[in-house]
Amino acid sequence: MDEKQASSSLPRVKELLLAWYAKSARALPWRETRDPYAILVSEVMLQQTQVERVIPRWQRWLERWPNVEALAAAKPAEVIVEWQGLGYNRRAVNLHRAARTVSAGGWPDDLTELPGVGPYTAAAVGNFAFGRDVLPLDTNIRRVQERTGVTFDGECAQALFDLGATICLARIPRCGICPLDAVCPSRGRRYEPLRRQSRFEGSFRQRRAEALRAVAAGAEPDDGDAIAALARDGLVAVTEDGAVMLPQD
């Protein structure tokens, strides 16, 4: 399907997609708010973490720090400890830094100016909080666009998230129940398995995670390489006499 055809087919495909979404949308708590802070927290947590794990942690986070000023006032150590179990702990440090940036100067027009916020997260917050007609391109949305040959607009974002997560799956899409089945040129196709993420067990990521948990518990792990990596990311502080602790400011 060429660009002209994709553009002309958008109204019909969009109508089918949004009608399906109106009946089948997943009940996700961050969809009930337009607060840019709450949405930013959800988007950062959802990076490489399953939705089911994020929901209770997002709710707990907002109970503890209900607004950007509350998070900005927290100590980095508190933020890192609260993040434990979500993985990729540097996300917590960047989220805290972003909160301090917003608390000091407000939300920038260009959201990528915030620490840890790249084009995808900026588009998601811009769309869901500020109503911008921009499509946050994650793996699911890219997959649907490639298979349908349609370039969707920002209004379709949440519907595309759900379609990609529940129906237009990576290997074996569930075309028989897809709302776009009648108009999709890729219907019925099967796909090669994607390259798997490297194993966590036995990896350096695991060593970093174990070292960070030990520091949070008040111990000093005997893993200099992991501690050095954590220090570079701002996840631990090393004193002049070599003591290791969570950052306090």
1.10.760.10, 1.10.340.30, 3.60.150.10, 2.60.40.1190: CATH of 35-128: 1.10.340.30
Prediction pTM value: 0.87
Tens digit of pLDDT at every position of the chain (249 positions) = 444 444 446 889 999 999 999 999 999 999 999 999 999 999 999 998 999 999 999 999 999 999 999 999 999 999 999 999 998 899 999 999 999 999 999 999 999 999 999 999 999 999 999 999 999 999 999 999 999 999 999 999 999 999 999 999 999 999 999 999 999 999 998 887 666 666 777 788 888 888 898 888 888 888 889 888 898 989 988 888 888 989 888
Q: Is 43 designated active site?
A: yes
pLDDT value at residue 221: 85
Q: Where are the domains of the chain?
A: 3-24+134-183, 35-128, 204-245
DSSP per position, the chain: --HHHHHHHHHHHHHHHHHHHHHH----GGGG---HHHHHHHHHHHTTS-HHHHHHHHHHHHHHS-SHHHHHHS-HHHHHHHHTTSS-THHHHHHHHHHHHHHHH---SSGGGSTT--HHHHHHHHHHTT--------HHHHHHHHHHT----GGGHHHHHHHHHHTS-SSS--GGG-TTGGG-TTTT---PPPPPPPPSTTSHHHHHHHHHHHHHTT---S-HHHHHHHHHTTS-EE-TTS-EE----
> Which of 3.20.20.120, 3.40.250.10, 1.10.1670.10, 3.40.50.10190 would CATH assign to domain 3-24+134-183?
1.10.1670.10
Q: For residue 194, what pLDDT is reported?
A: 62
Q: Choosing from 3, 15, 32, 43, which is the catalytic residue? A: 43
pLDDT value of position 141? 97
Tokens of 241: 């006499």
> What is the pLDDT at residue 198?
64
